[in-house]
Structure 1
Amino acid sequence: MTRQPPVRAEYQRDLAPLNDLPLAVELPLTTRLWSQAWLRKLVILAILMLAWEVAARWQGNDLLLPSFLQTAAAFWDGLVTGELPAKVAISLGTLLKGYLLGVVLALALSALAVSTQFGRDLLGTLTSMFNPLPAIALLPLALLWFGLGENSLVFVLVHSVLWPMALNTYSGFLGVSDTLRMAGRNYGLKGLRYVGLILIPAALPAIVSGLKIGWAFAWRTLIAAELVFGASSGKGGLGWYIFQNRNELYTDRVFAGLAAVIIIGLLVEGLVFATLERLTVKKWGMQR
């Protein structure tokens, strides 16, 4: 004889309405403000500036460590006189040429690598050889080959951008799902159309990451190269500005030049790349 489970009688329980409760609880003002990322970053910057000012006053030697206020005054003076914007314009003009050329070459090399076995072997061999090589180490050869001109700087910038960008892009291509690959093949896409319409959109998070890494490498390589290149040619951008003021013992202007390098890096990261990610990979749900 099998036992049947007891049958419980159904019942309905009336709940009290929630009319008296607010639909949403307003958070305190401090909590709402602290949830803003820009405000948290400003607080961090303010703490760093305060620590800088305290350390400079405690050290008591303007030649070795000028205070934050002295550096800010030198930075403002460079803006008013137009010297600092002119140096920034020279550096950014050179940077864009080398950066864009490096990105184009990296995309072409990655497309070749994902399409042919020879391209994969070529990319693997070249990146193993040249990726560990510091770009600034090629500056003497660049000066010998291209002379004292902008082409030497563009050469080392291409080297600094090409290899990390190519590696990131190729890794992104390899991560594209087989479903998307087969969909592209079913539509008859081949060659550059297959790379441009299937692989690049699917690998866009890795490509954007490569763009950011390439930018960081190119920016710091340019400043380092200008320290040598500017001293050799008698002109240059921010790197030459820093080098020249260091020779003349204007330490506050040296820090002002370094501050300009940092500010430009923050603006490019926070405006250009953040906007690019927001309009593409984040909007399309490919990245959080």
Structure 2
Amino acid sequence: MNEPGSGRPLARVLSEAAAVLETAGVPSPRVDAELLAAHVLGISRGRLASLVMMGESFASADAENYARLVDRRATRVPLQHLTGVAHFRYLDLSVGPGVFVPRPETESVVQLAIDAARGLEHPLMVDLGTGSGAIAGSLAHEVPGARVHAVELSDDAFPYAARNLAPLGVNLVQGDLAHAFAELDGACDVVVSNPPYIPANAVPREPEARDHDPHMALYGGGADGMVLPRAAAATAARLLHPGGFFVMEHAEVQAAAMSALFAASGDWEQVTTHLDLTGRDRATSGIRR
């Protein structure tokens, strides 16, 4: 741990950094200022708060490193790219340029999959398009006895997924979600997917997503963004046994299209739209006929 030493008071440095980030339009300037400081010092955010209360100061070398990170965050480089870590449910995931940073909205999608597996003995679960491994890792970590498989196509994202999922015993393969896991056809209990789904002409408002998330992880293909979601739904139908559960994340504006997709295929019953914690339509699920 790098303990603070002689230099400028932590409280003042944090306040100035938060002001810089607020001016830059960062949504949570104070929180980000504190998380960057904790990262530089190699301590928890709670420990940082204690040092601030004690009137401790930033050592000069740490202060310089911190200022550089704050300046980069002010250009809207994602916080997780600067710290190298994304917190998702109970996991700390390794992330960086080239991999989609998992969002809090997806945590509720994971919960639906976990709930569907409750009471099953050694459930067979698949994550289609795992990215950093957030969904597959959470399933493996939180569902007792789960056998979890995940697929990721991106050459940039795959190493992050491999690093995150290896300790959790997930079977990870690199490939196209449309053709993944033929050996599991008709055998799976739960399939979950957060595929790329943004329509071609819809540019994300947040600079962190627009400028730094890989386009491969954002855009779903076609004017409606539904090419990859259609592929994910078809693969889920192939993998699941009758009574198996599928849930897929999507944009709020795609809820009706997703319900129509599920209904038109004839593969699903009990098709349901689910809200995220902000009350937006975030996922659609169905039970395999």
Shorter-chain TM band: under 0.3
Normalised TM-score (structure 1)? 0.22
Asked which structure has the greater RCO (Cα within 8 Å, sep 6+), the reply is: 1
Q: Which has the higher strand share?
A: 2
Q: Which has the higher helix share?
A: 1
Normalised TM-score (structure 2)? 0.22
